[in-house]
Amino acid sequence: MEKVLITGATGFIGGNLVKGNLAKGNRVRALALTGDPGAVSLKTQGVEVAEGDVRDFASVKKAVDGMEIVFHCAAVVTDWAPKRLFREVTVDGAENMCRAAGEAGVSRFVDISTCDVFGIDEDHVMDESFPLRPWKEPYPDYKIKSEEIMWRYHREKGLPVTMVYPCWVFGEGDQTFVPLLADAIIKKELIFWRRDALVWPTYIENLVDLLLLISEDPRAVGNGYLVHDGECTTLQEFCTEIARAMGVPPATTHIPYGLAYAASWIMELLWKMLRIQKRPLLTTYTVKNLGSRFHFSIDKARRELGWTPKIPYREGMAVTMKWLKTLDLTALKQK
């Protein structure tokens, strides 16, 4: 039995990681913001909840004390937030976590990064050997800054860091990706701006399976691993699956990529000028991300750790669609 700390445990990935660790018999502690409504559910599962904030070193240090494994899932995951928040939570929070974990002498520090950190490159199959390359977008670029801090702690302080780079994560409990696509499809608001844009689905149980393996395998220390379900699909095919499950017509409207990007740029400018807090319908990051034809290899995890996705994409999608049909989409939070 390991003593495990999970940040971001009330989120989609963190919450499933909690369940995976509990199923293994690990003792789980979660760092959660004071008043986070998700903390109640964690406590009913037998999780010890440490109230605090990754921006506050004192509460981080207290949460990490006595832990053996740290899974760091907390970050600003939207593409529409003040840069100050990205810096304080994603970057300064990473510094606090690394410092506290190093002082506590943890045996493993696993960070949930993103495949975005390898930049915009459609000419090559990207893998973990690729350099970290900015997008000029806050979400991926601040994730790069946080990763650089973690590798510095690994090199200079010996912190046993492992990075994980998920692609498009989906599954039961998702509140940002599949449900919001479904909402847009139902409202006939979904448009496409590049034909054959690719999605590399990562079913949540496959991601958790790799994370648990990484937390135990000493070969993972000092390494990073991309993760997806081993196959890609087009964004339009992915959305057609959602429409079929919801019993509504699929989205078919296409506009030129340049028009979509120009519209997103103008929207962002207007929203900032008018100080509108709600996220615009389109952002430049969304246009870049959902209009891409990237390719990602997961060969490293197979080669070094013997890991392969246990659940095929189609099986994970079927389970997710069954769950999706039970939701009240209007109650979902916006990304």
**DSSP label at residue 144:** H
* pLDDT tens digit sequence for 198-252: 999 999 999 999 999 999 999 999 999 999 999 999 999 999 999 999 999 999 9
Range of the domain at 94: 3-173+201-229+296-310
Domain for residue 189, yes or no?
A: no
Max intra-chain CA distance, the chain: 55
- Residue 12: which CATH number? 3.40.50.720
Domain for residue 49, yes or no?
A: yes
* pLDDT tens digit sequence for 106-154: 999 999 999 999 999 999 999 999 999 999 999 999 999 999 999 999 9
Q: What's the number of domains the chain is made of?
A: 1
Name the CA dihedral angle for 4, 7, 12, 13, rounded to a multiple of 10 degrees. -50
Give me 94's structure tokens: 């990473």
Q: How many CB atoms lie within 10 A of CB 223?
A: 17
**SS3 of 48, please?**
strand
pLDDT value, residue 175: 84
H/E run at residue 311: none
Q: How many residues does the chain have?
A: 335
Domain for residue 257, yes or no?
A: no
Residues with Cβ within 8 Å of residue 250, at least 6 apart in sequence: 185, 236, 239, 240, 243, 244
Domain for residue 264, yes or no?
A: no
Domain for residue 104, yes or no?
A: yes
Domain for residue 263, yes or no?
A: no
In this prediction the pTM is: 0.95
**CA distance linking residue 261 with residue 307, whole number of Å:** 38
φ and ψ at residue 239, rounded to 5 degrees: -70, -30
Domain for residue 266, yes or no?
A: no
Q: Which of 260, 258, 211, 254 is nearest to 236 (CA)?
A: 254
Domain for residue 51, yes or no?
A: yes
**CA distance linking residue 318 with residue 333, whole number of Å:** 23
Tokens 């100050």, residue located: 84
Q: Do residues 39 and 49 make contact, with C-beta atoms less than 8 angstroms apart?
A: yes
* pLDDT tens digit sequence for 263-309: 999 999 999 999 998 999 899 999 999 999 999 999 999 999 999 99
